[in-house]
Structure 1
Amino acid sequence: MPLDLNKLDHLIAVAEEGSLTRAAARLHLSQQALSTSVRTLEREVGVRLLERTSGGVTLLPSGAALVEDARVLRGVAQSALRRARRIGRGEREMLRIGHTPAVTGGEVSLLLRHVAVTDPELAADAHQRYPGELTAGLLAGDLDLGLCRGMSPAHGLARAVLGEHRISIGVAADHPLAGRESVALADLSEQTLVVWGRPGDSGYTDLLVGHCRAAGFEPRLERSTLQGTPPVTHVIGTDRVAFLTEPPGAAAGGAVRVLALQPPVFVPLHALYAPHLASTNRDAFLDAAQARASRHA
């Protein structure tokens, strides 16, 4: 029996809400109708998918596996509809890019300019997304490409390396380190480092922590409260230190001083994408970006 995408959507909602009541409200269904839909799906699959308790519902391993694949299937279906409509209407294909705060808008623009040399007809639309939003957008087919650093690909996604960037250090203009041209990682052992994600939840933060440990110290971390603003601005008016990929020198109108790290330390630029979704522009972008990375390796 073929799977019903509506029933899979119902299961996804229950899994995300952890409650039949909340999931029913989200789906604009009665709780009874939603419960019937999920039980029917369980009969069709032939195994139990949920554990029902007085405190709510939790996914069984079988349910978790089906939800992972259901998100992929839903993205394929939505992407197929959009692609057919675009072709039928004669609309131009747009490369929809999301990037995490770890990748600046300037870096995305520079990469697009380099790719445009070999693909001058490329049309792109880029916006910042937090890691969870980036993954959800890629799986749903709302994004063609996700640029990030260190994120592990979720089930249904693939990851490619597009190159690497050299890390620098950002401090406020009146910081004690601001008068220096360069610092070593070990010089930061007594500093508090601003990061944008918590260790264990952010692949990029984990990368940076790994570099600090390799330099012989356990870093003191503070998660920035200025989510969504350019990373270089997060140290203004503070005594904190931030890892950046900006070039050394004055930044943020002179409010920030960017220092070189010696010896150099590099972090990768990753691209996440859903390989099962068709995108001519995405494939051309990846080919051009990886070819350029190989030439500059």
Structure 2
Amino acid sequence: MEFRQLKYFIAVAEEGNISRAAARLHISQPPLTRQIQLLEEQLGTQLFRRTHWGVELTAAGSLYLEHARQITAHMTQAGELARRAGEGRIGRLDVGVFGSAMLGFVPQILNSFSAAHPDVELVLHSAPKGQQIEALQRGRILIAFDRYLPESDTLHVETVCAEPVLVALNSRHPLSRHEAVSVESLRDEALIGEHNWSVFAATRELFAHHDIEPRIGQRAPDMITAAVMVAGGFGTALVPASVRNLQLPNVVYRPLTGAVPAEILLHCAWRRGDDNPLLQALLATVSAFRRSHEAVQQRAQQSGAV
């Protein structure tokens, strides 16, 4: 039995006339009659009674019509779901993210993606950089967002955006009364460092230009924890601007100034050659966000120049 035969049967049953059904199906009458005969032979029962004005369903035909309609509806739905999955509009998308990347731009990107793809299930996996890379390589996640992800033979890495480095200070710190903090004022400051050194990678050129070696007093597993430690009076930390979204008590954030600008990068990474439609749809959202973010940055720079 073929799906085509079900469509033919339904058309004849609904029209009650083979000639009208053939016109509706855009085929000639003889092959349609033959297909109905073949269907009846395969089922071993008569589906139609021939009348002077056309055909009418037998009891078997009426029951078969009910199920034939259900089957064609399911087939149509299955085809639509497959098409939507192929277009990246339905399914499950596993995303890796960690630390301060969760505070600013990544939620904006995922929110935009969800608005455009409401039937896609987004699942977040919070894990340190090394675990995210392993999860990518094993296919447990499709994409990872983090600071300074390493490119490799198996992974492709793109910059999502850059954001300025701020100084997180306890509100009791004398520097908190300044509108901005110069890198020179941090020469003897004991800083809270995070384990993967992302923020110090972003400020390396700035500190080197001023001939300063950052002094690490405490260590934190990530920049969110570093900001929490600032709130507890453990010291001062350099953090990306998105950490301001935490709004921690006793913490103030000030711009870091110096002869060289300091920006920290947010990257996304995925497996090379991965053509998963959901991944491609999210990457398109990332690209749109990047263009929008860069346009905002350019306008801000032009406004500042004026």
What pairs up with 1:21-100 in 2 under 5 angstroms? 92-100=90-98
Aligned match of 1:258: 253
What pairs up with 1:102-121 in 2 under 5 angstroms? 102-121=100-119
Per-residue CA deviation, residues 183-220 of structure 1 (Å, 9 max, x unaligned), is 1223212112222225xxx5554233333223431111
Does the 8 Å contact 1:186/1:216 carry over to 2?
A: no
Aligned match of 1:67: none
Aligned match of 2:232: 237
Q: Does 1:270 align with 2:260?
A: no
Q: Does 1:206 align with 2:201?
A: yes
Does the 8 Å contact 2:168/2:230 carry over to 1?
A: yes
> Cα distance, 1:251 vs. partner?
5.5
> Cα distance, 1:122 vs. partner?
4.3
Does the 8 Å contact 1:161/1:290 carry over to 2?
A: no
Structure 1 residues 177 and 239, CA gap change in structure 2 (3 angstroms): farther
Q: Does 1:291 align with 2:288?
A: yes
Residue from 132, 135, 140 that aligns with 2:133? 135
Structure 1 residues 227 and 165, CA gap change in structure 2 (3 angstroms): closer
Per-residue CA deviation, residues 48-101 of structure 1 (Å, 9 max, x unaligned), is xxxxxxxxxxxxxxxxxxxxxxxxxxxxxxxxxxxx9xx8xxx95222111232
Equivalent AA in structure 2 for residue 269 of structure 1: L
Q: Does 1:220 align with 2:215?
A: yes
SS at match of 1:124: strand
Mapped partners of 1:117, 1:215: distance in 2: 46
How many residues of Structure 1 are paired with residues of Structure 2 in the alignment? 206
Q: Which moved more, 1:119-128 or 1:147-156?
A: 119-128
Structure 1 residues 247 and 92, CA gap change in structure 2 (3 angstroms): closer
Structure 1 residues 99 and 255, CA gap change in structure 2 (3 angstroms): same
Q: Identity, % of aligned pairs?
A: 17
Q: Which has the higher helix share?
A: 2
Mapped partners of 1:229, 1:239: distance in 2: 14
SS at match of 1:277: coil
Mapped partners of 2:183, 2:221: distance in 1: 24
SS at match of 1:296: helix
Per-residue CA deviation, residues 124-172 of structure 1 (Å, 9 max, x unaligned), is 2223211111111110111111111222124310101111112211111
Q: Does 1:182 align with 2:177?
A: no
User: Aligned-residue CA RMSD in angstroms?
Assistant: 3.1
Equivalent AA in structure 2 for residue 282 of structure 1: L
**Structure 1 length as normaliser, TM-score?**
0.59
Per-residue CA deviation, residues 266-285 of structure 1 (Å, 9 max, x unaligned), is 22211011123342222111
Does the 8 Å contact 2:192/2:220 carry over to 1?
A: no
Q: Which has the larger radius of gyration?
A: 2
Does the 8 Å contact 1:97/1:127 carry over to 2?
A: yes
Residue from 177, 193, 196 that aligns with 2:194? 196
Aligned match of 2:148: 150
> Cα distance, 1:252 vs. partner?
4.1
Aligned match of 1:160: 158
Does the 8 Å contact 1:98/1:145 carry over to 2?
A: yes
Mapped partners of 2:215, 2:156: distance in 1: 32
Unmatched tracts of structure 2, length 5 or more: 1-81, 295-306
SS at match of 2:174: coil
SS at match of 1:186: helix
Structure 1 residues 127 and 177, CA gap change in structure 2 (3 angstroms): farther
Structure 1 residues 229 and 291, CA gap change in structure 2 (3 angstroms): closer
SS at match of 1:209: helix
Does the 8 Å contact 1:138/1:144 carry over to 2?
A: yes
Unmatched tracts of structure 1, length 5 or more: 1-83
Q: Which moved more, 1:164-173 or 1:97-106?
A: 97-106
